[in-house]
Structure 1
């Protein structure tokens, strides 16, 4: 539930204002990080040992904050930077390391009982915590559709659970009579109350997110109307009408503006919409990447990747990478635009290479 809530809360936020995006990312970080923490301590409540043990309150709190902050950092990369294979892998690895850190910090808070780790258990937990969240992020963010979010949710849930139990399989426990002195002790009974409250918040957020996740009747009708097979044929132009130059729409603060295509350097897919790159500005466009390609291809725009449409006139750097490539555009040199192998020849020809 936490994975679904966090990934759903950030769906479509790229078209929001910076402030609204920060709020959505913060809420998603609390959901994902809180879910990591809750899963760990739900499992720890099921741990039975022949000796008495409790938890240091401060260490337990730190473990929750680490999970939330690491997840928040990953979401900032995903929603405030260009999404490239490298940034997706980096965000997934950060979430994974947050899962491992949360687990081992939480375990270090045990009092009257000392966990002892095996090197194989630690290595296996860290490997799982990096590989599986990277997979979850790549699945959930390759496209921001409902199917991808659900598959990413499954991968995220498996990652959290597998890291915990791989780590626990490589953990032994020894009695330790010295209680920690960092903060008050937290009994299993008190911990159960905190975990219950956390689970309640996650469940409530899950329900609120879920009711807006499925397409409504109006939305389904709109998709049906927009389907190519059912789209009405365009009316023939009036004989006295002057041709109107194509302009690219973009939306800002509830208003629609129009841009000369020559001013746009690239378009990036964002679910059913696209983000325009105009110099250093990133603007929301209601066109899908397929519609943008159909309209802009006659003007020289190239589909260089399934998620990117490029205006070769704005390319300032091109780099060949084995069978693929990467380029940058003026005004946004930090944006790395991938070029797939199938599109490489077309771009090189357009650039005169």
Structure 2
């Protein structure tokens, strides 16, 4: 049984797993709305960072273990363990990203990924060479497999949800702790039995000392840390979209509250009655939405609401939300202003589908009909306009 691990290296291994998970899930979150080539590149990047995080965590944990001083690491099994990790992570992410991610598909991918992580661990363990024989407690092996599959399922759910902000941090922390828990659970079941002759028991081949492995692991730690820091750099397009949203909000609040319908900033007439301004475009009849197998189109008449999501949007058809590659301002400019109204800086609703409106705090809430009714917030500046569009405005003598 391995006791007396170096606590600093144990803590470092957990941090590395968390950073790898955060960077991998962060890349996965950027897949939406990208063309096929960029999507494949981001998917590969997500798989590599997750695999590097898992593998590096494993070998930092190995360096933390109190191994015999003359222990070496066989190069072939060590490299094979890394390739196993990259392969199973890539296959699992690809499998759930193609087509509709059903529960059966996610569970199957989680089992594959969990077994791959455990295989990486035990292949790497048997890359150890020294004057000992290694055995494993079957109960601990089973427990390690269960933890790995649970961690894989949570990781795939985070990948599919494509969370950001606090949710992404929490999912990465949970993933890193779970993967580390799998490693140290498996290590509890390891027994090193000293050999009678005191000789190394391996079939030969290239071997690396712990010092060389430490250099490789240090390099990978820097790679993971660099990827993590780069993932924190704001996307310029996202900042531009945020500035556009602020400009739209300021322009909207400058309009009279009871105006008939909101007009996109890029379509508002100039002070000379529209001289020099582009002519208004005819409303579109369909909106593009992204699916795992490509871009689909949804009829504008079926749209219940549109929600801003960074520099993209989420379109709700009364059943579910789907990602649209247009910004909230672009959607507002393309939809029929007689049917749709911007009720919040981040929300557009279809007036014909409003089934309920209720005052809430300083603003209001609108409920949209459909098989899966959902609610949308209304900003205080838009309440009067929404009431007017719904025929609820107060009439004065």
Do both proteins adopt the same fold according to a TM-score greater than 0.5, normalized to the shorter chain? yes
Larger radius of gyration: 2
Q: CA RMSD in A?
A: 4.2
The answer to whether the 8 A contact 2:307-2:347 is kept is no
> What is aligned with 2:51?
33
> What is aligned with 1:117?
136
SS at match of 1:55: strand
> What is aligned with 1:141?
160
The answer to whether the 8 A contact 2:241-2:327 is kept is no
The answer to whether the 8 A contact 2:140-2:189 is kept is yes
The answer to whether the 8 A contact 1:54-1:187 is kept is yes
> Hey, what's the Cα distance between the residues in 2 that align with 1:296 and 1:189?
69
1:199 aligns to 2:221 (yes or no): yes
1:250 aligns to 2:319 (yes or no): no
> What is aligned with 2:109?
91
1:161 aligns to 2:185 (yes or no): no
> Hey, what's the Cα distance between the residues in 1 that align with 2:308 and 2:51?
24
> Hey, what's the Cα distance between the residues in 2 that align with 1:216 and 1:15?
13
Closer, same or farther: CA 44–260 of 1 in aligned 2, 3 Å:
closer
Tell me the TM-score normalized by structure 1: 0.68
> Hey, what's the Cα distance between the residues in 1 that align with 2:90 and 2:53?
13
> Hey, what's the Cα distance between the residues in 1 that align with 2:144 and 2:370?
43
**1:73 deviation in Å?**
1.2
The answer to whether the 8 A contact 1:268-1:276 is kept is yes
**1:17 deviation in Å?**
1.4
> Hey, what's the Cα distance between the residues in 2 that align with 1:234 and 1:13?
40
**1:301 deviation in Å?**
8.9
> Hey, what's the Cα distance between the residues in 2 that align with 1:182 and 1:305?
66
Closer, same or farther: CA 143–209 of 1 in aligned 2, 3 Å:
closer
The total of aligned residue pairs comes to: 293
Tell me the TM-score normalized by structure 2: 0.61
The answer to whether the 8 A contact 1:137-1:152 is kept is no
SS at match of 1:115: strand
Q: 1:286 aligns with which of 322, 326, 331?
A: 326
Unpaired runs of at least 5, structure 2: 1-18, 264-279, 332-345, 355-367, 375-397
The answer to whether the 8 A contact 1:63-1:103 is kept is yes
> Hey, what's the Cα distance between the residues in 2 that align with 1:165 and 1:203?
23
Unpaired runs of at least 5, structure 1: 307-353
> What is aligned with 1:103?
121
